[in-house]
Each structure stands twice: as structure tokens, then as C-alpha cells.
């Protein structure tokens, strides 16, 4: 595709439910990142995938958060037993090679936990 695609664009869920957020990176980009942006705040790194290497999970805030990337392309971020503090915009980005190459962001998924 022309850019990074994320779905859904909006997700409203009840506290305690699980949610899955999807990211489709730019074709040919080997690196994929997930970030979280709370209202009026900066971006917080969550997890990074590069090719077939083990992901860097150092930014995940708790064990309720996990992510996978299948076939080196599409990625899914899963939040189990959602809490109200998980409400935020979840942004995905991809870059051609990772490291020092430019990152391109998707439009994000706005998650609201009631």
C-alpha cells in the first residue's frame, strides 16, 4: 500500500475485555514499531520488530500487552484485560531498514476503555 495502515481507527471497549489492534506496514519495510500517545502527551515506545529477529519488547508497560508480526509484514498488538489507563491512541510506524532510517506513521487506533 501507499502508507502504513491501521485498523480499527476507533475502538471502544469495556474494562476487562481484550482488544486487538492491527498494523499493515509499507511494503518492503523490514522494521515495525508500536507507540502509544495519551491525550496531549508525547509518544511512548512500546515494541519493535526487525525482520526475523526477536522483537524488542522493552517498552511494553505490563504483561497484559503483547504483539506479534506474522510473515514479516502485518502486526497485531493485543491488550488483555483492558484498564481505563490503557485509553490512548496507538500508533504504528514502519521504516525501510530500522536503525537510523526515517519512520512513517499510520493514522493510529484511538482506544477508549470504559
Partner 1 sequence: GENVEQHPSTLSVQEGDSAVIKCTYSDSASNYFPWYKQELGKRPQLIIDIRSNVGEKKDQRIAVTLNKTAKHFSLHITETQPEDSAVYFCAPVHGGSQGNLIFGKGTKLSVKP
Task: List residues near partner 1 by CB under 8 A.
Answer: 31, 33, 35, 41-45, 48, 50, 56, 59, 91, 95, 98-108
CB of 9 vs partner 1, minimal distance in Å: 11
CB of 31 vs partner 1, minimal distance in Å: 6
DSSP string, 27-86: TT--EEEEEEE-TT--EEEEEEEETTSPPB-TT--STTEEEEESTTS-EEEEE-S--GGG
Q: Which is nearer to partner 1, 15 or 90 (CB)?
A: 90
Rounded Cα distance between 112 and 73, Å, is 26
CB of 16 vs partner 1, minimal distance in Å: 28
Q: Which is nearer to partner 1, 28 or 42 (CB)?
A: 42
Rounded Cα distance between 33 and 82, Å, is 21
Amino acid at each position: 500500500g501507499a502508507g502504513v495502515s491501521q485498523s480499527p481507527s476507533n475502538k471502544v471497549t469495556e474494562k476487562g475485555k481484550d482488544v486487538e489492534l492491527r498494523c499493515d506496514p509499507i511494503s518492503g519495510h523490514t522494521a515495525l514499531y508500536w507507540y502509544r500517545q495519551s491525550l496531549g502527551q508525547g509518544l511512548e515506545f512500546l515494541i519493535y520488530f526487525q525482520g526475523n529477529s526477536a522483537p524488542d519488547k522493552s517498552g511494553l508497560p505490563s504483561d497484559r500487552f503483547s504483539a506479534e508480526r506474522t510473515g514479516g509484514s502485518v502486526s497485531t498488538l493485543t491488550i488483555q484485560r483492558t484498564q481505563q489507563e490503557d485509553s490512548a491512541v496507538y500508533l504504528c510506524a514502519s521504516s525501510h531498514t530500522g536503525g537510523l532510517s526515517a519512520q512513517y506513521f499510520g493514522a493510529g487506533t484511538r482506544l477508549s476503555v470504559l
